[in-house]
């Protein structure tokens, strides 16, 4: 047999072995997934008729035991990074996973509580409000349910906004929180464009159709339009904090100038209920539910490499272009600067 023939034979053999190995690993992973689901089903069962729910109402997530050994089921939901929904950017946080987790917990009648593990500087106003709304729906779906929030390095602006659905808020001693307010930013390239010979060509139906055009100065009347919008969103934020923290609205407004607070300052100003660590949040949830300990789970998404690539379209040069486009597109945000 020639050297070429030997090379082909060895190549085919290696390919078969690789495929066999991948098949074995996938089979093993499926068996472990099934075993974990069976163990949870034996412990809890599912009284909810999931056959009647769509995939958005009852997302396909795997339950994993996180900690605790009580008889009351609680879900730990991490909130990380920028709060934006259905984003293609690698830089965004896990807001889509948070939304799916809340909806999964809402549909599971065995879940009695949520512990929000928050480390975020906020994000989009609508994304923050949707997560807040879904958290309220979780409690409304069944009497006696509770939500506890524990803040990590940061829980600011939109992240603080969604925590207003909590029954108790705790912060680590080193947490930075607050930044209650609204912001909109945009870049202006007018002077740079003039230097390098770029001209803006815009055809529009009205004077305000190209608000925040990066090649034109912002007119005073246009700035006033944005300020009116910002003021409206700001008032909603202040009202929500006043309701969630049971504070006078004007007292909240005095704190809501965008400033950030240390954990001690936040506690002194009634923006949080206490300072502690994860075990304190777990114990708080147990106390609110009237038990000695809780059985804490978290959800994991089962994603293949193809799913990851398909769900993250902003890659390579597209990522750069998307980032530049996002910078040029102004957004009203509940986030820190």
Give the pLDDT band (50/70/90) at residue 253: very high
The reported pLDDT for the residue numbered 308 is 52
pLDDT at 1 over 80: no
Which pLDDT band, with edges at 50, 70 and 90, does 171 fall under?
very high
- Predicted confidence band of residue 55 (pLDDT cuts 50, 70, 90): confident
Q: Which of 23-37, 129-143, 292-306 has the lowest mean pLDDT?
A: 23-37
The pLDDT tens digits of the residues spanning 272-289 come to 999 999 999 999 999 999
CA distance 241 to 159: 12
Q: Which residues are catalytic?
A: 157, 209
Full 3-state SS string of the chain: CCHHHHHHHHHHHHHHHHHHHHHHHHHHHHHHHHHHHHHHHHHHCCCCCHHHCCCCCCCCEEEEEEECCCCEEEEEEEEECCECCCCCCCCCCCHHHHHHHHHHHHHCCCEEEEEEEEEECEEEHHHHHHHHHHHHHHHHCCCCCEEEEEEEEEEECHHHHHHCCCCEEEECCCCEEECCCCEECCCCCHHHHHHHCCCCCCCCCCCCCCCCCCCCCCCHHHHHHHHHHHHHHHHHHHHHHHHHCCCCHHHHHHHCCCCEEEHHHHHHCCCCCEECCHHHHHHHHHHHCCCCCEEEEEEEECCCHHHHHHHCCCCCHHHHHHHHHHHHCCCEEEECC
Report whether 155 contacts 119 (CB < 8 A).
yes
pLDDT digits (tens, 9 = 90+) for 117-134: 999 999 999 999 999 999
- Which band of pLDDT confidence, cut at 50, 70 and 90, is reported for residue 59? confident
pLDDT tens across 78-113, in order?
Answer: 999 999 987 644 445 789 999 999 999 999 999 999
Q: In a 10 Å sphere around its CB, with 0-12 CB exposed, 13-18 middle and 19+ buried, how is residue 149 labelled?
A: buried
pLDDT at 233: 94
| Residue 121 to residue 177: CA distance in whole angstroms | 8
Model confidence over 187-199: pLDDT tens digits?
777 778 788 888 8
Which of these, 243, 195, 245, lies nearest to 215 by C-alpha position?
A: 195
Name the token pair of 170.
Answer: 């705790």
The C-alpha atoms of residue 260 and residue 3 are separated, in whole angstroms, by 71
Per-residue pLDDT at 12: 59
Separation of alpha carbons 272 and 178, rounded Å: 10
Q: Which pLDDT score is estimated for 9?
A: 58
Q: Specify burial of residue 62 (Cβ count, 10 A radius: 0-12, 13-18, 19+).
A: middle
Give me the percent of the chain exceeding a pLDDT of 90: 53
For the entire predicted model, the pTM comes to: 0.78
| Structure tokens belonging to residue 65 | 């035991």
With cut-offs at 50, 70 and 90, classify the pLDDT of residue 21: low
Stretch 301-327: mean pLDDT? 50
- Please state, in angstroms and rounded to a whole number, the distance separating the CA atoms of residues 334 and 147: 22
DSSP-assigned beta bridge partners for residue 274: 170
Predicted confidence at residue 27, as pLDDT, reads 52
| Beta pairing, strands 332-335 & 183-184 | antiparallel
Name the CATH architecture for the domain at 47-335.
Answer: Alpha-Beta Complex (3.90)
pLDDT-based confidence at 213, cuts 50/70/90? confident
Q: CA–CA separation, 255 vs 238, rounded Å?
A: 9
Checking if the pLDDT of 28 tops 90, the result is: no
**Token match 């969604």: residue?**
162
State how far the Cα of 271 lies from the Cα of 247, in Å rounded to an integer.
9
Is residue 256 within 8 Å of residue 181, measured between CB atoms? yes
């Amino acid at each position: 047999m020639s050297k070429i023939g030997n090379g082909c034979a060895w190549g085919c053999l290696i390919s078969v072995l690789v495929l066999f190995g991948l098949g074995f690993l996938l089979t093993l992973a499926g068996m472990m997934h099934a075993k974990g689901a069976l163990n949870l089903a034996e412990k809890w069962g599912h009284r909810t008729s999931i056959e009647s729910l769509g995939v958005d109402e009852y997302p396909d997530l795997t339950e994993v035991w996180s900690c605790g050994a009580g008889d009351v089921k609680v879900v730990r939901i991490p909130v990380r990074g920028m709060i934006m929904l259905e984003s293609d950017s690698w830089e965004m946080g896990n807001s889509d996973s948070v939304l799916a987790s809340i909806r999964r917990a809402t549909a599971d009648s065995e879940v009695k509580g949520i512990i929000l593990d928050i480390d975020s500087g906020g994000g989009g106003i609508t994304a923050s409000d949707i997560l807040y709304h879904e958290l309220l729906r979780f409690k409304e779906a069944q009497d006696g349910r509770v939500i506890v929030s524990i803040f990590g390095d940061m829980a600011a602006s939109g992240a603080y906004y969604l925590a207003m659905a909590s029954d108790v808020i705790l912060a680590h001693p080193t947490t930075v929180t607050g930044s209650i307010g609204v912001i909109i930013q945009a870049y202006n390239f007018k002077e740079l464009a003039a230097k390098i010979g770029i001209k803006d060509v815009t055809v529009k139906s009205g004077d305000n159709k190209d608000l925040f055009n990066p090649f034109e100065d912002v007119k005073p009347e246009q700035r006033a339009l944005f300020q009116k919008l910002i003021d409206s969103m700001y008032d909603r934020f202040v009202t929500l904090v006043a309701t969630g923290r049971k504070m006078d609205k004007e007292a909240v407004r005095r704190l809501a100038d965008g400033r950030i607070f240390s954990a001690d300052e936040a506690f002194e100003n009634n923006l949080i209920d206490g300072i502690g660590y994860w075990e304190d949040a777990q114990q708080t949830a147990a106390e609110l539910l009237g038990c000695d300990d809780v059985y804490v789970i978290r959800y994991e998404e089962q994603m293949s490499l193809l799913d990851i690539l398909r769900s993250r379209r902003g890659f390579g040069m597209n990522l750069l272009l998307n980032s530049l486009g996002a910078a040029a597109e102004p957004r009203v945000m509940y986030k820190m600067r």
